Amino acid sequence: MVEKIAYRVSASVLLIAALAIGALLVMGLTRADAGTASAPRETMANEIVAPDPVAEDESALQTLAADAGDLADKLPLSDKFVVKRILQIDEPFVHGYYKWDDEGVPEGELVVTVDLQAESISVFRAGYEIGAAVITFGDSEKPTPTGVFPISQKSKDHVSNIYGSPMPYMLRLTNDGVAIHASDVKWGWGTRGCIGVPEEFARRLFEQAQLGDRVIVTNGKMLNMGDAIL
């Protein structure tokens, strides 16, 4: 009887010992796996970090925004320039007449429009018409060209090197001599392609216009409130 009890005790001890050894083995394997799993993290921490895709997206957006800002400056006027005011003219709009009123008009981009059919010139600043006048323009021998022309030269007391005639307050538009300048504006008179305006109007325009400001010459394009300049 004693032997049987001793045997049972020994068996129990052996069973408990086996379970303990098994548990230790399992714990050892688990720790080994954990150590193996942590190794790649340490290795990646020492490697070159790949670019953050979110950061790349933000950088790309910033680049696109900058490019969009540059592009906006290059857009045609029709995409960003709208007429906000047209001068009220109650007097007869005849040759030699002009009107100028820039009181209270904010600073901004200056754009000049010329309509050969209406024989008129308009000056816009920040979208507000500040000046208008009747003009003379090119005759049949040398018609005034249409298009968009940046002012490339200013000369207050210019004299034509082709015809020898004075061209006060000259704003050059083309390399072959077409310009806006002060002139005697009379019915039936023409020019050699230039746009002639009353002298006081020419002086005021000369004072405000800068090199690079655009002059848009059309033949029959009238503008109304809210219209975009084409």
The pLDDT, as a whole number, for residue 230 is: 59
Per-residue pLDDT at 109: 93
Q: What's the chain's average pLDDT?
A: 74
Percentage of residues in the chain with pLDDT exceeding 90? 50
The DSSP symbol for 167 reads E
112 and 196 both lie in a single domain: yes
Residue 59 confidence (pLDDT): 42
Report how many domains make up the chain: 2
- Is 70 exceeded by the pLDDT of residue 19? no
pLDDT at 204 exceeding the cut of 60:
yes
**Same domain (yes/no): 121, 204:** yes
Asked if residue 111 lies in contact with residue 173, where contact means CB atoms within 8 angstroms, the answer is no
pLDDT above 60 for 29: no
The answer to whether 216 and 165 are in contact (CB under 8 A) is no
pLDDT at 208: 96
Using CA of residue 208, residue 214, residue 218, residue 221, what is the dihedral sign?
Answer: negative
Model confidence at 229, in pLDDT bands (50, 70, 90)? low
Same domain flag for 94 and 183: yes
In terms of Cβ atoms closer than 10 Å to its own Cβ (0-12, 13-18, 19+), residue 227 is: middle
Of the two residues 187 and 27, the one the predictor is more confident about is 187
Query: Does a structural domain hold residue 171?
Result: yes
Q: Is the pLDDT of residue 133 over 50?
A: yes
Of residues 40 and 91, more confidently modeled:
91
Domain-located, residue 227 = no
* Domain termination residue (choose one: 74, 101, 136): 74
DSSP SS3 for 120: strand
* Residue range 30-68, pLDDT digits in tens: 333 433 333 332 323 333 233 333 333 444 434 333 443
Is 0.75 surpassed by the pTM of this model?
no
Q: Who has greater pLDDT, 101 or 228? A: 101
pLDDT at 122 over 70: yes
Structural domain boundaries enclosing 28: 2-74
Task: Kindly state whether residue 65 falls inside one of the protein's structural domains.
Answer: yes
